[in-house]
Amino acid sequence: MNYEKFKNCIDACYECASECDHCATACLQEEDVKAMAKCIQLDRYCADICRMAAAFMARADGFMGENYSRQLCGFCATICEECGAECDSHKTEHCKNCAEACKRCAEECRKMAA
Amino acid sequence: MNYEKFKNCIDACYECASECDHCATACLQEEDVKAMAKCIQLDRYCADICRMAAAFMARADGFMGENYSRQLCGFCATICEECGAECDSHKTEHCKNCAEACKRCAEECRKMAA
Amino acid sequence: MNYEKFKNCIDACYECASECDHCATACLQEEDVKAMAKCIQLDRYCADICRMAAAFMARADGFMGENYSRQLCGFCATICEECGAECDSHKTEHCKNCAEACKRCAEECRKMAA
Amino acid sequence: MNYEKFKNCIDACYECASECDHCATACLQEEDVKAMAKCIQLDRYCADICRMAAAFMARADGFMGENYSRQLCGFCATICEECGAECDSHKTEHCKNCAEACKRCAEECRKMAA
């Protein structure tokens, strides 16, 4: 089953989506929200693209879609890398957790895209 | 962190979304696709609502959204139960796997909605 | 075609999603982002639920899903009303535009849910 | 406002998403569902990527995201073209409508991606 071979990447994508969704909410509650604006913006894009990449992979099973999944994973990796770099520049725990999830996801997506 | 208390339900939702996404694709490749039409239709709704319920929960952290998450989980549980019942009526492995994921997700969502 | 009868509501939902997506981005660029935090948070929920309500309606055609669509529209209306009320409390043009789109969408969704 | 310049493409994306969502449901109700399996599969991918491209554009306003939007539009155009070609090979009204929406959306997305 082709779906299985995507399992690690799907898990990394959904984990990253959750951390990004949560990070944006936590950023909105920080004292200096303005300093987190770029992080929030990237979190929004990253959460959505991760969720969609996971959905594309789960649907790809030798019947159209594997190629789409690989292309979307390549794009997803780029956003994860940029979101992870931004998160890494902040000291808050939610940003650190998010940065880690972004990096793991970027790695898994790069493997898929290759 | 409120996000943590949603963890089990988020995991169950994303797991269910993946099984539904995959089940629909596998149904489309069965010999008798017509017999799977209802299953495919329910899989489409179920995958999307599970993904959104998970996103809502990951964003809910004492700052708006917890109430929305609980309401959406109640609705998600209903769809999971109907999708799980349909999947359970088919013999294919992908339907059986999907039915299990739907039931687990419905249970977690019912707890959240309570 | 049942899909046609949902047309006005689908249009209102996607219009509202766009205004919410845009409003959140514009809020993140305001001088006092902190004052817009609640608006951004509501925009995130509202955009997503509107998009999903529209998707549910477009898929509903006498073959499962019309009931789901009506339920989701009821929930969507609630979020639109709360988002619209928050947006209405701000003076910025993007918030005013968003408030209007939220109210129109809430009205259409209430009709659907009825 | 940068958001405005994306307006035509956003509209074409959401219109295409609705036609694809509806086409998949209508295909599932055809006498020979098996003959529509590829169309249904492409509709699923196309609806989702169109919805996400529209969301990305509505969020892009000189503050990150315009570049992401253009890249996603390029990918979206490819899927729209393939979905439109498949739909065009069927005689049903919903496929014809969907094929038209796919072509319009592909054109708008190609302009954005350029």
Residue A8's contacts (CB-CB under 8 Å, 6 or more residues apart) are: A108
Q: What is the mean pLDDT of residues A75-96?
A: 97
Q: Which of A114, A20, A33 is nearest to A74 (CA)?
A: A114
- ipTM of the modeled complex: 0.94
Residues of B within 8 A of D51 (CB-CB) are none
Q: How far apart are CA B28 and CA B34, in angstroms?
A: 9
| Confidence band for D2, pLDDT divided at 50, 70 and 90 | low
Q: Six-digit token pair at C49?
A: 């639920």
Q: How confident is the model at residue D1 (pLDDT cuts 50, 70, 90)?
A: very low
Residue C96, Cβ density class (10 Å: 0-12 exposed, 13-18 middle, ≥19 buried): middle
Q: Find chains touching chain D: ≥3 CB pairs under 8 Å.
A: A, B, C
- Supply the CATH number for residue B103's domain: 1.20.1270.360
Q: In the structure, what pLDDT confidence band is assigned to residue A65 with cuts at 50, 70 and 90? A: confident
Name the nearest CA neighbour of D80 among D17, D34, D28: D17
Q: What is the mean pLDDT of chain B?
A: 95
Average pLDDT estimate for A80-102: 97
Would you state the pLDDT for residue A1?
43
Q: Does A18 touch chain C (CB under 8 A)?
A: no
Q: Give dist(CA A45, CA D74) in Å, integer.
A: 17
Convert the pLDDT of each residue in C67-105 to its tens digit.
Answer: 999 999 999 999 999 999 999 999 999 999 999 999 999
Cβ–Cβ < 8 Å for C55, D51: yes
In 3-state terms, what secondary structure has residue A91? coil
User: Could C41 and B65 be called an inter-chain contact, meaning their C-beta atoms sit closer than 8 Å?
Assistant: yes
First to last CA, chain B: 20
Return the pLDDT at D96.
97
Measured distance CA(A110)–CA(C33) in Å, rounded = 34
B chain contacts of residue A27, beta-carbon cutoff 8 Å: none
Which position has the token pair 């009868």?
Answer: C5
Q: How many angstroms separate the CA atoms of C17 and D11, rounded?
A: 12
Mutate to test the interface with B, among A6, A18, A98 (most CBs of B within 10 A): A18
Q: What is the largest CA-CA distance in chain C?
A: 49
Longest dimension (CA), chain D: 49
Residues of B in contact with A59 (CB under 8 A): 21-22, 24-25
**Domain total in chain C:** 1
Could you tell me which of A40, A32, A114, A31 has the C-alpha nearest to residue A73? A114
Contact B29 A59 (CB under 8 A): no
Q: Are D13 and D51 in contact (CB under 8 A)?
A: yes
Q: Pick D75's closest partner by Cβ from A59, A65, A75.
A: A75
Beta carbons of D83 and D46 less than 8 angstroms apart: yes
Confidence of residue B64 (pLDDT cuts 50, 70, 90): confident
Cβ–Cβ of B10/A18 closer than 8 Å?
yes
Q: Tell whether B65 lies on the interface with A, counting CB pairs under 8 A.
A: yes
pLDDT at A2: 60
Closest CA to D50 of A66, A73, C54, A17: C54
Selecting from A18, A19, A29 the residue whose C-beta is nearest the C-beta of B54 gives A18
DSSP conformation letters of C84-105: HHHHHTS-SHHHHHHHHHHHHH
10 Å CB burial of residue C92 (0-12, 13-18, 19+) is middle
Q: Is B45 helix (H, G, I), strand (E, B) or coil?
A: helix
pLDDT in tens, D71-103: 999 999 999 999 999 999 999 999 999 999 999
CB contact under 8 A, C48 and B52: yes
- Report, as an integer, the average pLDDT of B28-55: 97
Give the pLDDT mean for B10-30: 97
Q: Kindly state whether B29 is in contact with chain D, defined as any CB-CB distance less than 8 angstroms.
A: yes
Closest Cα in chain B to D21: B44
Q: Is the pLDDT of residue A18 over 70?
A: yes
Q: Tell me how far apart the alpha carbons of residues A95 and B109 are, in angstroms, rounded to a whole number.
A: 27
Does C17 contact B at CB distance below 8 Å? no
- Average model confidence (pLDDT) for chain C? 95
Range of weakest confidence among B108-112, D10-14, D15-19, D62-66: D62-66
Boundaries of domain holding B78:
2-113
How far does the CA of residue B55 sit from the closest CA of chain A (Å)?
A: 7
Compute the nearest-CA separation of D23 from chain B (Å). Answer: 12
Average pLDDT over residues A3-19: 93
pLDDT by residue (tens digit) across A42-58?
Answer: 999 999 999 999 999 99
CB distance C14 to C51 below 8 Å: yes
Q: What is the mean pLDDT of residues C18-25?
A: 97
Contact check, Cβ <8 Å, A44/D59: yes
| Mean pLDDT, chain A, integer | 95
* pLDDT-based confidence at residue A88 (cuts at 50, 70, 90): very high
Neighbour tally for B32: CB within 10 Å: 10
Would the pLDDT of C16 be above 80? yes
Of B41, B65, B75, the CB nearest to C45: B65
Q: 3-class SS at A89?
A: coil
Asked if the Cβ–Cβ distance from C58 to D21 is below 8 Å, we say yes
Q: What confidence category does residue C2 fall into, taking pLDDT thresholds of 50, 70 and 90?
A: low
What is the secondary structure of A27-83 as a DSSP string? HHTSS-GGGGHHHHHHHHHHHHHHHHHHHHHHH-SSSS-HHHHHHHHHHHHHHHHHH
**pLDDT tens, position by position, D13-59:** 999 999 999 999 999 999 999 999 999 999 999 999 999 999 999 99
| Whether C55 contacts chain B with CB within 8 A | yes
Quick check: D42 and D85 in contact, CB under 8 A? Answer: no
C 31-50 residues with CB < 8 A to A: 32-34, 37, 40-41, 44
Half-sphere exposure of C102 (CA within 13 A, CB side): 30
Chain A residues close to D41, C-beta within 8 Å: 59, 63-65
> Which whole number is the average pLDDT over A88-103?
97
Please indicate whether, in this complex, the C-beta atoms of C18 and D25 are within 8 angstroms of each other: no
The alpha carbon of C56 is separated from its chain's Cα centroid by a whole number of angstroms, namely 14
> How many CA atoms does the CB half-sphere of B22 hold within 13 Å?
28
Name the band, by pLDDT with cuts 50, 70 and 90, for residue B1: very low
Chains that touch B (3 or more CB pairs under 8 A): A, C, D
Beta carbons of B10 and A18 less than 8 angstroms apart = yes
A32-60 exposure pattern, b = at least 16 Cβ within 10 A, e = fewer: ebeebbbbbbbbbbbbbbbbbbbbbbbbb
